[in-house]
Structure 1
Amino acid sequence: MVVERGDPARDPLLAARLLEVQHAAYAVEARLIGDDRIPALSEDLAALVAADLDWLVARDGRAVLGALGRRGTPDGVEIDRLVVDPAHARRGTGRALVAAVLAGAAGHRVTVSTGRDNTPARRLYAQAGFRETGEREVLPGLWVVDAERRA
């Protein structure tokens, strides 16, 4: 597996594949948390491309296994979304993508939010050294956990 930067705005095939992986991954999260109101689950191709994220893409050859969209903040990096193709889940793809973000953050703060009831994601971030900083209700009845780490 290789983790490299990708630009869905310049690569329509990558954009289409990212959207497929994103929808599949967030469908799994929706089942885990019992709520399908995750905004990225219903995002279309135009919105994904316009999201203004810096993407890291995990590949095995030409196959996209997963991706991570991030953006700079005044004091570091925010992980906006981490998606892994469910067919490749639990094989280190998410860990590799998070490790790549941490390696590139050079001592800055890295933040992330995930569904409160998404135990696999919370475990992944905890194992990567993130500490949970609080919970928020982003929509009525839809809760997320915020976490951070100094890289």
Structure 2
Amino acid sequence: MHVRPADLSGVDARAVGVLVGAYLRQTEQEKADRGLADPIGPDDPLPPRYAAEADDPALAFAGDEVLLAVDDERPVGVVVSRAVPEGTEIKRLWVDPGHRGRRIADALLSAVVDGAPGDVRLSVWEWRAPALAVYRRLGFADVPSWDARPGLLCLVRSAV
């Protein structure tokens, strides 16, 4: 497995769209299970505010850094980050469920952290215990929320 920049103008756009789409569908289902969103079926379109990320990642992530984890030439994970005034913000992180438990998320996060010029921040739903464990193990610490949505935790990994 290795991590590399995604080519959103070419062959990687579809893979990024599929991976991000799976992340968004799971997130919407988890939010619906908790009464925070309307349920969507597997064949229903994503909410308009998210659809472009899956349908046209090149446009949705223009100016962002998009990295793919590739195993045996198959994309199995993605991370999207962007520069913000506070440093770098991780916007999306997803590893295909069939490839979890192999520290692929660690590799994706490390690639962002290692390349970031300052602090790295992210937000995560409080019910995502496995993701929270990974973030905390890699040095991310809880901070006061910058997002008012209930159930969303904010974490920062300070620059060394």
TM-score, scaled to structure 1: 0.81
**SS of the counterpart of 1:91?**
coil
- Which string of whole-angstrom CA distances, capped at 9 and with x for unpartnered residues, describes residues 38-78 of structure 1? 854774422x2212221111101320010111111234211
User: Compared with structure 1, are the counterparts of its residues 7 and 100 closer, same or farther at alpha carbon in structure 2 (3 Å cutoff)?
Assistant: same
Q: Which has the higher contact order (CA 8 A, sep 6+)?
A: 1
Question: Which runs of 5 or more structure 1 residues have no equivalent in the other structure?
Answer: none
Identity of aligned residues (%): 26
Q: Which amino acid aligns with 2:14?
A: A
- Show the 5 A alignment for 1:42-61: 43-46=53-56, 48-50=57-59, 51-52=61-62, 53-61=64-72
Give RMSD over aligned pairs: 2.3
Paired with 2:111 and 2:54, the residues of 1 have a C-alpha distance of 26
Question: Which runs of 5 or more structure 2 residues have no equivalent in the other structure?
Answer: 39-46
TM-score, scaled to structure 2: 0.77
More strand as a share of residues: 1
C-alpha deviation, 1:118, in angstroms? 1.3
Q: How many residues align?
A: 144
Aligned: 1:124 with 2:125: no
**SS of the counterpart of 2:123?**
strand
**SS of the counterpart of 1:117?**
coil
Instruction: Select the structure of larger CA radius of gyration.
Output: 2
User: Compared with structure 1, are the counterparts of its residues 54 and 27 closer, same or farther at alpha carbon in structure 2 (3 Å cutoff)?
Assistant: same
User: Compared with structure 1, are the counterparts of its residues 36 and 63 closer, same or farther at alpha carbon in structure 2 (3 Å cutoff)?
Assistant: farther
